[in-house]
Amino acid sequence: MLNFDEARFLSIQAGAVALASRLDAAIAQALAAGAPNIHFLGTGGAAILMKPAIQLLRRRSAFPVFDDFTAELLVGDSRNLTRGSIVVIPSLSGTTKESVDLLDLARSRGATVLTLVGHEATPLGRGGDQVMVNYAADDTSSESFYIQSLLIALSVMRHRGEIDNYDALVSDLQALPGQLLRMKEAIEPRAEGYARLLAAHDWHIVTGAGNAWPQAFYYGMCILEEMQWIRTRPVHASDFFHGTLELVEEGVSVIVLKGEDEARPLAERVERFVPGVGGTLTVIDTADYPTPGLSPELRALLSPALLATMLERVSAHLEVLRDHPLTTRRYYRRVQY
């Protein structure tokens, strides 16, 4: 595979899976102490990667779950951030300014802070009540954060008696790193073609639904816009028909990311519409890439991670095709803003 370190990738994703017992113990301790709610409070892309776990808890658990734009919470506050609240702060660098400021606020409220970081010797790596360190880089962090946040959500439901197959799901997760590698190998022959399509258009509409939507949002904003300076319009598939459909005409690129949860029909509705009005349709569907080692239930829960791992292969080709490394920035962490 192009520009890919297999051993490094497997080590990072295995590291995320290996945090299961520590994450479960941290959640168990916080719930036993009377935690009233849980807040997922990341910044930028890291916040987006928490969305599938937030959605899972809102749909399957009665435990109150909150998410805010961290910068907005810092200026507007939240009466739900209280003593005993579980606050999950993800940050790959461990230095994200808004997240560091939020750490101070959460601790001043008496919340239990759980940080998910890639580097321990950082403010967030040192400052959480419980710190989970799993080294990763931009090309491997999405799967790692999706896995960790899913483990947190499953643990909350386990200790509240809202699921009865936690152990089976976590056991199945042991096979995930190898299955993610299998999916990369499967999409590699198509990846350059997808990259050429991305490079050929001035802008793209990127859509998805259910737990695939956060990955559509993330890929549009954090990869195509930030790392490739390609204009995108991320839009949830349910909102596509309330405005965005009017932008579709001949030559307009629409990228549909399809997962395997109950919201899949919403993405399929967009898929049916676009060709009829002359748009250029591209569909990337996790169902096209089997993983014999994962149960259907776990595949549905992991759809965003499966999409992320395949799209990384597309990005690897895109940066070479456009002669634009994914690490190139004009403004991000380079100027004051």
* Residues 230 and 149 reside in one and the same domain: no
Is 88 inside any structural domain?
yes
Is 332 inside any structural domain?
no
* Residues 50 and 144 reside in one and the same domain: yes
Tokens matching residue 62 = 């009665």
Is 223 inside any structural domain?
yes
Neighbours of 25 (CB within 10 A): 12
* Residues 241 and 165 reside in one and the same domain: no
Length of the chain: 337
Is 326 inside any structural domain?
no
Identify the CATH number of the domain in which residue 135 sits.
3.40.50.10490
In one-letter notation, the amino acid at residue 85 is S
Task: Identify the band that residue 160 occupies on the pLDDT scale cut at 50, 70 and 90.
Answer: very high
Q: 190 lies in which domain range?
A: 178-321
* Residues 134 and 274 reside in one and the same domain: no
* Residues 32 and 159 reside in one and the same domain: yes
* Residues 139 and 220 reside in one and the same domain: no
Is 330 inside any structural domain?
no
Contacts of 251 (CB under 8 A, 6+ apart): 201, 278, 279, 280
Q: What angle do CA 302, 209, 186 make, to 5 degrees?
A: 45
| 117: pLDDT strictly greater than 90 | yes
Q: Kindly report, residue by residue over 181-239, the tens digit of the pLDDT.
A: 999 999 999 999 999 999 999 999 999 999 999 999 999 999 999 999 999 999 999 99
Q: Kindly report, residue by residue over 35-74, the tens digit of the pLDDT.
A: 999 999 999 999 999 999 999 999 999 999 999 999 999 9
- 86 forms bridges with which residues in the sheet? 38, 112
**Span 320-331, average pLDDT:** 96
- In angstroms, rounded to a whole number, what is the distance separating the alpha carbons of residues 213 and 237? 8
* Residues 227 and 290 reside in one and the same domain: yes
CA distances from 151 to 19, 179, 267 (A): 8, 18, 26
CB 272 within 8 A of CB 245: no
**Span 14-42, average pLDDT:** 98
Q: How many domains does the chain have?
A: 2
Task: Identify the band that residue 255 occupies on the pLDDT scale cut at 50, 70 and 90.
Answer: very high
Q: Any idea of the CA torsion for 33, 37, 40, 41, to the nearest 10 degrees?
A: -90
Q: Inter-axis angle of helices 6-17 and 176-200, to 10 degrees?
A: 120
- 258 forms bridges with which residues in the sheet? 285
CB 199 within 8 A of CB 321: yes
**Residue labelled with tokens 């295995």:** 14
Give every strand in the sheet of 65-67, ordered side by side.
65-67, 38-40, 86-91, 112-117, 130-133
* Residues 257 and 311 reside in one and the same domain: yes
